[in-house]
Amino acid sequence: MQTLEQRQPMSARRYKNSWWCDFRFEGERYRRKSPVNSRRGAEKYERELIRKLRAGLPIDQSDETARDKPARPTQPAKHSIPPDGKEVPTFAAFAQEFMNTYAKANNKLSEQLAKQSHLTCHLLPAFGTLQLSQIDTRQVETFKAALLDGKRSRKRVNNILATLGTILRYAVEIDLLIKPPKIKLLKTEDKQVRFLDFSPYETLIRSAEHEPLWHAAILLGGDAGLRLGEIRALKATHWNRKQERITVERSLSCGVETSTKGWKRRTIPLTRRLQAALEALATMGHAYLVSRHKSEPLTMETTRWHLPKLCRKAGVEPIGWHALRHTFCSHLAMMGVPARTIQELAGHADLTTTLKYMHLVPGETDRAIGLLDQRRGQIEKFDPDSEPSDEPLPEPNDDP
């Protein structure tokens, strides 16, 4: 079936060796010089202009030979028609379709729940009654300012804006919009990751030794870097007792077992004390290694309150489970492990995440600045005409 543009006769014309578009839209005449100097190029350019006009978008009025007509409104029309001739849906209607199709097919359950929360609490009240083509950059910036006035963190605002951007870009992919509005994320500060230093971490482990279940869970976070969902989903089949290593490939989120974050599995060698802790749990014969029930994993409610309780008992500042993962990465960095190795063990998708821990490497910055003290000696070494320095040159065998 032909679209409206295809049924409308093309009016490309040649004038003084140049191809032009000359057509009428809603009673107004438009004449534009084609950027591609051919009949086919002019016809394609005309179809693009008609699409923009139907979507309520401005078209270039700078050509000197253009007819002297008042510019069309830059605000989107209230009933814009997409290129396929269908009516543009409201944001609320399309958001429901987005959740039932795109989000269900491409996002894990936890991501779907986060997007639904953004829609229910923020996006639908702000944009629900608007058609997709009526959402412009000015409205997005106004919405962004309103979120900040509500004392929400800049990171949370960015998460909400990311959901809005994903929905609008999907509308472009299925030809309901020509171009999405520009959404600029907020700049955020790099917060220092929270972790336990060597001594408090060892104190916490010793305090939990009389509770084998929680002792193993803490070690899985601090000695192996597992996320809480990965700890809860760890099964005996993921543990190679002979080679003393585990394979992290599943995670529990919202009561559903899924793949790990990033959809990648990783294999982690075990410390001696973590291997011993898992041996103690293996005698219980539970389906999940860290579990009180024979066939069911630990609940989120139980894990969330029990770790702070153990911290207070050990005299350590209470932390959350993810801080144990930060402890794992931080201790590796402080002991000089290369960033690439830490990235592989922690399962970071991006090396940038791993580099947040590398400032903890002891002495690196001091050593780098110390090298600058040797600059004068390097100048005299390569430039015999330079003035002599009172500082002695380093011996040939000295380390830089």
| Sequence ranges of the domains in the chain | 4-54, 91-173, 198-358, 372-400
Cα angle value 146/149/150 (rounded, 5°)? 95
| pTM over 0.75, yes/no | no
Please write the tens of the pLDDT for every residue from 289-321: 999 888 899 998 889 899 999 999 999 999 999
Predicted confidence at residue 78, as pLDDT, reads: 38
Calpha distance 116→98 (Å, rounded):
10
- The C-alpha atoms of residue 264 and residue 247 are separated, in whole angstroms, by 11
CATH (residue range 198-358): 1.10.443.10
Higher pLDDT, 381 or 270: 270
Mean pLDDT across the stretch 61-70? 39
Q: Which long-range contacts (CB under 8 A, 24 or more apart) does 136-145 make?
A: 136/75, 136/76, 136/181, 137/181, 137/182, 137/183, 139/181, 140/164, 140/181, 140/182, 140/183, 141/184, 144/186
The CATH architecture that domain 91-173 belongs to is Orthogonal Bundle (1.10)
User: So what's the pLDDT on residue 370?
Assistant: 82
> Rounded CA gap, 395 and 400, in Å?
10
Q: Which of 252-261, 273-282, 283-292 has the highest mean pLDDT?
A: 273-282
pLDDT tens across 78-111, in order?
334 455 556 789 999 999 999 999 999 999 888 9
Question: Is the pLDDT score of 43 beyond 70?
Answer: yes
Query: If 0-12 CB within 10 Å is exposed, 13-18 middle and 19+ buried, where does residue 196 land?
Result: buried
Model pLDDT for residues 326-336, shown as the tens digit of each residue: 999 999 999 99
Per-residue pLDDT tens digits for 158-172 = 999 999 999 999 999
- Taken in order 112, 117, 120, 126, the sign of the CA dihedral is negative
Name the residue among 124, 24, 133 with its Cα closest to residue 79: 133
φ/ψ of 13, rounded to 5, equals -135, 150
List, in sequence order, every residue forming a beta bridge with 259; answer none if it has no partner.
Answer: 250
